[in-house]
Each structure stands twice: as structure tokens, then as C-alpha cells.
Structure 1
């Protein structure tokens, strides 16, 4: 497996094609990525869009993706990494892809001098929770999330 971090100078059309043609299920909430949306995302400061591919030369295959961003606390200079999503293709689950992506994100957090990494997972997402627990977190919280849809 190999990880790749995308930036505005990369071939975004290829990653968009790879994402839109990969095997996702409804829980991934991946609905037709577009180049303009990814370009807008990548133009924001501190974002990390990481993809995981098989290392099969010309036959490389997308295995998973993640989106995260480096944040700073407003009351001190501590940086932290917020992991928004880790999505593993349906046909690649239970093969170490999620763990590989997490390890790469933790490595990136260290490289950026982040003091902590934070991510959330739905309680019913047993596979994700087993993965995150297996990586020896410092804390596991029972957090209730709230979502507000804004009518425009």
C-alpha cells in the first residue's frame, strides 16, 4: 500500500475518477465527488486529503481516502489534527487499509507538531471502533453529536 497526499497541483481529475468509480456503500456518504469541490476543499488552509492505493505499478487501485485538517487552539499555540473522514472501499475492508491510513495520519500529525489527534465514529460502526481501539487511544469519550441543517 502507498499513501498520497493531494494538493492543488495534482491531477485531481484522476483521483475524482478513482473515487467515483470505487466500491462504496451508503454509510460512506460519498456522492459524486467533483473536481471543483475538491479544488475548493484543497484551497483551505491546513487540510489534508490522503488517498491509499495498492502498490501494483500501473494497475494501482484506490483502496481508501481520508480528509482531515490541522487546527490550532484559540487559547494557546497547540496544534491538533482533526480527522473528518476515513473511508475504505467496500471490497478492501478488513485488509489493513483503515489502519494504514490511520498510521499515516498519526505520522503526519507528528510531523506537523500536533499535540493530539481527534476523530469521532458512530457507535454502531463496530469495525471502525474496533480499529480505533486497537490503536491504543489515550481517551475514548462518549460524545453526543448534534447536527443542524441550515435552510437557505
Structure 2
């Protein structure tokens, strides 16, 4: 099993195909991926996209993906990594992919000089909460989230 930071040098067409053919459930809130959107996402200097794969007799199998970005505080110029999504394929869970993805993101955050990694999940998402707690967080807080649609 290997988790890798995806760059513009990777085969994005193949990755998009793997993502769109993978088994996701409602917990993933997965949207259809397309080459152009992923390419534009990766062109930004502040984004980090991780793919976790495993080699099998059938070839490379996608286990999960994650998207995140490096942010800067408006004071002291502290950097922090905001993890937007960590998604593990339904038929690939309980293999350690989510943990490897998070460990990879934490290592990238350290390498980039981030003071902190931040992510959130739903209170009732027991598997995600178990994963994140297993990584020995410095703080666990209950957060209420709000969404505002802009009709754009």
C-alpha cells in the first residue's frame, strides 16, 4: 500500500477514471471527477491531493483519496494544513488506507512548515472519528458547521 501526493506530472486521466469507477457510499459525498477540474485544482500552489493505491494481481487498485490545502493565518504568518476530504473506497476499508493518507498529510504539513493540521468530521461518523482519534490528536472539539449556497 502506498500513499502518494499527486502532481501535474501524474496520469490524471487514469486517476479520474479510477476515482469515478471506485465504490463510494453516502458517507463519501463523492461528486463526479473530471480531468480539467482536477488539473486546475493541482495547478494551485496551496493544494495537496493524495491517492492511496495497492498493487494486486489485477493491477493498481485505488484505496482512497484526500484533498487539502495550506492556509496562512492573517497574523504571525503561521501556516496550517486544512484537510477538506479523506475518502476511502467502501470495498477497501479496514486496510489502513485512511490512516496512511492522514499520516502522509501530516508529514507533508511538517515538511511545508505548517504549525497545525485541521480537519472536521460529523459527530456521528464513528469510523472517521475512530481513525482521527487513533492518530493521537492534540485537541478534539465539537464544531457546528454552516453552509451558505451562493447559487453560482
- Root mean square deviation of aligned Cα: 1.3
Mapping 1:48-127, distance limit 5 Å = 48-56=48-56, 59-127=59-127
- Counterpart in the other structure of 1:35: 35
Structure 1's consecutive aligned runs of 4 or more residues displaced over 6 angstroms after TM superposition are: none
Q: Which moved more, 1:66-75 or 1:1-10?
A: 1-10
- Counterpart in the other structure of 1:150: 150
Question: Secondary structure at the residue paired with 2:55?
Answer: coil
Question: Secondary structure at the residue paired with 2:66?
Answer: strand
Number of residue equivalences: 152
Shift in Å at residue 10 of structure 1? Answer: 2.0
Q: Distance in 1 between matches of 2:73 and 2:45?
A: 15
Q: Which moved more, 1:55-64 or 1:122-131?
A: 55-64
TM-score normalised per structure 1: 0.95
Q: Deviations over 1:12-33 (max 9, x none)?
A: 1000001011111122121210
Question: Secondary structure at the residue paired with 1:121?
Answer: coil
Question: Secondary structure at the residue paired with 2:14?
Answer: helix
Shift in Å at residue 58 of structure 1? Answer: 7.1
Q: Distance in 2 between matches of 1:24 and 1:58?
A: 20
- Counterpart in the other structure of 1:138: 138
- Counterpart in the other structure of 1:20: 20
Q: Distance in 2 between matches of 1:105 and 1:5?
A: 9
Shift in Å at residue 151 of structure 1? Answer: 2.0
- Counterpart in the other structure of 2:7: 7
TM-score normalised per structure 2: 0.95
